């Protein structure tokens, strides 16, 4: 009788059907994306807590006739509490990172995509072993996902004695993948990750002898971890305000603003309430529909807020970035800059850039670009990225560069909210504030290069003069 049938789709089912939007579009990408998601979780679980990361990645053929690959990733991070493990790997949109603080992870999706892809291709569970800091036991689970319910399915579970006081997480999955094709991408991904995290060490072992790579730790200096922040008044929407009101509808407006938002003191809050025309002692729960919308509009319009604080960010820093770039690219010289914090729509961000010149850098017709967002290398989709656009716009002759030249540009953008263009996290959407900071950062290192080249030319001249 019904002409059309209606039904709801669970988040797990949605991502099973649309795995390409999370980067799992084919067996090659699936291997790369799996390693990337697991490594990024490992880095978040270590450096955010001041632990020097040691990450091991072992890849093997599980069944070569069917292209089954097993992927194992182990870290020395803070581990996962035993009772959280099933949800963390078995419930799409379950995360400890839905906070105002810089992380590599953002969606609460990566680990679950790995499980979903593995189970959709090989029907095997993920194996998880984890020990939180100072835990007497190691928790072990085999997990799958009930896709229609978006719930974890515990296939098996046990605890092991933690004899050697280990802490960290180890994961093993078997999935359909093309390791020979993914290999180059994975190696490149690790090299680039190491470039901005020279305080981490990586060991990769593949099925063949010549697959092994080891990237050593070259410094024990680490950036300060980010603090957890509050939303900036310019970044809010009506729904967020409603959620905050629900916590305590009786709270007076003045207090509501001071308690819930970044950088709002009593003076600023009073000035703002004057601007909106509301009394400071009115209970916030009294705001009704239209007033709420107006309140939010005014929050966005008001020009008296402080700039968002950048304590929630953890930039790499000029010295560590220079060390990483020197080690990975082996250039003649490196210049770096960490720009001052800036913001877009209430979200703080910092742009860092490195320029590497000469040495082992392959000469090419335009600058080689390495892009990073929250320390995550972006490898695909370079053509759509703002960084490519800006570097191409620059007139390099102004900086005494004649192509072909050995020139690499590294740009790192960190923010509590990276405007990614898609769930696969490969390119950054165009945001004018970010574009202009990227331009400033690249120009700043380019000027340092011009000085360097000029000085070298002078030295050369002198040398010629006295040689004759
Ligand atoms: P996201 O990284 O976006 O939060 P994931 O699905 O990748 O989403 O991970 C979900 C959560 O699982 C993380 O927020 C984190 O709390 C936890 N987690 C995943 N991997 C690890 C790990 N290696 N060590 C510690 N915690 C982890
Ligand atoms: Mg993640």
**Same domain, yes or no: 35 and 122:** yes
> What percentage of the chain carries pLDDT values higher than 90?
88
Q: Which ligand is nearest to the CA of 109?
A: 1
User: What's the CA-to-centroid distance between 278 and ligand 1, angstroms?
Assistant: 43
- Quick one: how far is CA 310 from the chain centroid? 16
> Which residue, of 301, 335, 356, is where some domain finishes?
301
**Same domain, yes or no: 201 and 287:** no
Q: Which ligand is nearest to the CA of 92?
A: 1
**Same domain, yes or no: 208 and 87:** yes
Give the CATH number for residue 351. 3.30.230.10
Report yes or no on 3 lying in a domain: no
Give the CATH number for residue 156. 3.30.565.10
Ligand 1 within 6 A of CB of 114: no
Residue 151's SS3 state is strand
C-beta of residue 301 within 8 angstroms of C-beta of residue 309: no
Identify which of 50, 88, 14, 97 has the alpha carbon closest to the alpha carbon of residue 417.
97
Distance CA 174, CA 109 (A): 18
**Same domain, yes or no: 68 and 145:** yes
Ligand 1 within 6 A of CB of 88: yes
Question: Which residues fall within 8 angstroms of residue 228, CB to CB, at 6 or more apart?
Answer: 99, 100, 101, 312
Ligand 1 within 6 A of CB of 105: yes
Report yes or no on 466 lying in a domain: no
Could you tell me how many residues make up the chain?
Answer: 468
> Which residue, of 161, 181, 215, is where some domain finishes?
215
- 419 is in which domain, residue-wise? 318-457
User: What's the CA-to-centroid distance between 111 and ligand 1, angstroms?
Assistant: 7
Report yes or no on 420 lying in a domain: yes
SS (H, E, C) 205-271: ECCCHHHCEEECCCCCCCCCCCCCECCCHHHCCHHHHHHHHHHCCCCEHHHHHHHHCCCCCHHHHHH
Looking at the CA of residue 73, tell me the nearest atom of ligand 1: 23
**Same domain, yes or no: 103 and 179:** yes
User: What's the CA-to-centroid distance between 415 and ligand 2, angstroms?
Assistant: 16
Distance CA 63, CA 438 (A): 46
Q: What is the pLDDT of residue 468?
A: 65
Q: What is the pLDDT of residue 106?
A: 83
User: What's the CA-to-centroid distance between 353 and ligand 2, angstroms?
Assistant: 25
**Same domain, yes or no: 55 and 188:** yes
**Same domain, yes or no: 258 and 344:** no
Contacts 24+ apart (CB under 8 A), 184-191: 185/28, 185/32, 185/379, 186/31, 186/32, 186/35, 187/213, 188/379, 189/32, 189/35, 189/36, 189/39, 189/377, 189/379, 190/39, 190/57, 190/215, 191/215, 191/328
Looking at the CA of residue 109, tell me the nearest atom of ligand 1: 6
Token pair 């093997």 in the structure block, residue: 60
Token reading at 135 = 């835990």
**220 Ramachandran zone, left/alpha/beta (phi>0; psi -120 to 50):** alpha
Q: What is the pLDDT of residue 380?
A: 83
C-beta of residue 399 within 8 angstroms of C-beta of residue 446: yes
Ligand 1 within 6 A of CB of 192: no
Q: Supply the residue whose CA is at minimum distance from atom 1 of ligand 1.
A: 108
Report yes or no on 185 lying in a domain: yes
Ligand 1 within 6 A of CB of 53: no
* Backbone Cα Rg of the chain: 25
What confidence tens digit (pLDDT) does each residue in 133-188 have? Answer: 999 999 999 999 999 999 999 999 999 999 999 999 999 999 999 999 999 999 99
Q: What is the pLDDT of residue 105?
A: 87
Q: CA dist 180 to 39, 64, 67, 207, 419, Å?
A: 19, 12, 11, 10, 32
**Same domain, yes or no: 89 and 188:** yes
**Same domain, yes or no: 273 and 333:** no
- Residue 428 CB neighbour total at 10 angstroms: 24
Ligand 1 within 6 A of CB of 34: no
Q: What is the pLDDT of residue 299?
A: 95
Q: What is the pLDDT of residue 465?
A: 86
Report yes or no on 390 lying in a domain: yes
Ligand 1 within 6 A of CB of 77: yes
Domain tally, the chain: 3
Identify which of 95, 85, 89 has the alpha carbon closest to the alpha carbon of residue 145.
89
Token reading at 90 = 């078995």
Looking at residue 112, the DSSP 8-state letter turns out to be H
Give the CATH number for residue 247. 1.10.8.50
C-beta of residue 127 within 8 angstroms of C-beta of residue 172: yes
Residues forming beta bridges with residue 201, ordered by sequence position: 54
**Same domain, yes or no: 288 and 334:** no
Distance CA 343, CA 371 (A): 19
Q: Residue ranges of the chain with pLDDT lower than 70?
A: 423-424, 468
Ligand 1 within 6 A of CB of 385: no
User: What's the CA-to-centroid distance between 103 and ligand 2, angstroms?
Assistant: 9
Residues forming beta bridges with residue 411, ordered by sequence position: 353, 371
Q: What is the pLDDT of residue 241?
A: 93
User: What's the CA-to-centroid distance between 108 and ligand 1, angstroms?
Assistant: 7
Looking at the CA of residue 113, tell me the nearest atom of ligand 1: 6
Q: Which of 11, 51, 53, 88 to mutate to test the pocket of ligand 1 (most atoms within 8 A of CB)?
A: 88
Q: CA dist 204 to 57, 101, 103, 210, Å?
A: 5, 30, 23, 11
**Same domain, yes or no: 193 and 326:** no
Report yes or no on 206 lying in a domain: yes
Q: Supply the residue whose CA is at minimum distance from atom 16 of ligand 1.
A: 96
Residues forming beta bridges with residue 139, ordered by sequence position: 130, 159
Strand 376-378 and strand 168-176: the pairing is unpaired
Distance CA 70, CA 225 (A): 33
Ligand 1 within 6 A of CB of 80: yes
Q: Supply the residue whose CA is at minimum distance from atom 8 of ligand 1.
A: 108
Report yes or no on 4 lying in a domain: no
Report yes or no on 311 lying in a domain: no
**Same domain, yes or no: 276 and 134:** no
> Which residue, of 301, 336, 354, is where some domain finishes?
301
């Amino acid at each position: 009788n019904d002409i059309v049938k209606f039904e709801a789709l669970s988040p797990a089912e949605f991502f099973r059907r649309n795995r390409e939007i999370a980067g799992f579009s084919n067996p090659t990408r699936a291997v790369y994306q799996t390693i990337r998601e697991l490594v990024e979780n490992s880095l978040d679980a270590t450096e955010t807590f001041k632990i020097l990361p040691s990450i091991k990645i072992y890849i093997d053929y599980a069944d070569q006739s069917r292209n089954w690959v097993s992927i194992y990733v182990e870290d020395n991070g803070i581990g996962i509490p035993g009772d959280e493990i099933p949800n963390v790997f078995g419930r799409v949109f379950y995360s400890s990172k839905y906070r105002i603080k810089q992380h590599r992870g953002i969606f609460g999706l990566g680990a679950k995509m790995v499980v979903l892809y593995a189970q959709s291709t090989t029907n095997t569970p993920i194996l998880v072993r984890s020990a939180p800091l100072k835990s007497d036991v190691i928790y072990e689970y085999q997990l799958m996902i009930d896709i229609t319910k978006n719930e974890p399915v515990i296939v098996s579970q046990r605890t092991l004695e933690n004899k050697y006081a280990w802490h960290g997480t180890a994961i093993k999955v078997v999935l359909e993948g093309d390791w020979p094709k993914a290999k180059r991408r994975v190696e490149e991904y690790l090299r680039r990750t190491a470039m901005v995290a020279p305080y981490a060490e990586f060991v990769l072992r593949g099925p063949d002898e010549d697959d092994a790579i080891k990237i050593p730790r070259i410094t024990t200096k680490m950036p300060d971890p980010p603090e957890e922040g509050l939303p900036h008044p310019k970044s809010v929407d009506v729904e967020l305000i409603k959620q905050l009101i629900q916590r305590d509808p009786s709270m007076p407006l003045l207090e509501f603003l001071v308690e819930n938002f970044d950088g709002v003191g009593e003076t600023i809050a009073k000035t703002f309430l004057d601007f909106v025309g509301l009394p400071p002692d009115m209970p916030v729960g009294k705001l009704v529909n239209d007033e709420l919308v107006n309140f939010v509009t005014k929050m966005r319009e008001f020009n008296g807020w402080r700039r968002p604080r950048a304590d929630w960010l953890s930039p790499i820093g000029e010295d560590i970035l220079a060390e990483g770039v020197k080690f990975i690219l082996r250039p003649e010289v490196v210049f770096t800059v960490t720009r001052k914090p800036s913001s877009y729509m209430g979200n703080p961000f910092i742009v860092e850039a490195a320029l590497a010149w000469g040495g082992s850098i392959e000469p090419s017709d335009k600058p080689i670009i390495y892009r990073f967002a929250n320390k995550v290398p972006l490898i695909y989709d370079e053509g759509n990225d703002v960084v490519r656009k800006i570097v191409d716009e620059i007139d390099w002759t102004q900086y005494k560069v004649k192509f072909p030249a050995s020139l690499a540009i590294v740009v790192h953008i960190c923010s509590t909210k990276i405007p990614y263009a898609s769930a696969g996290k490969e390119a950054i959407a165009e945001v004018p504030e970010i574009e202009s900071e990227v331009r400033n950062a690249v120009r700043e290192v380019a000027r340092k290069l011009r000085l360097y080249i000029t000085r070298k030319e002078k030295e050369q001249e002198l040398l010629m003069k006295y040689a004759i």
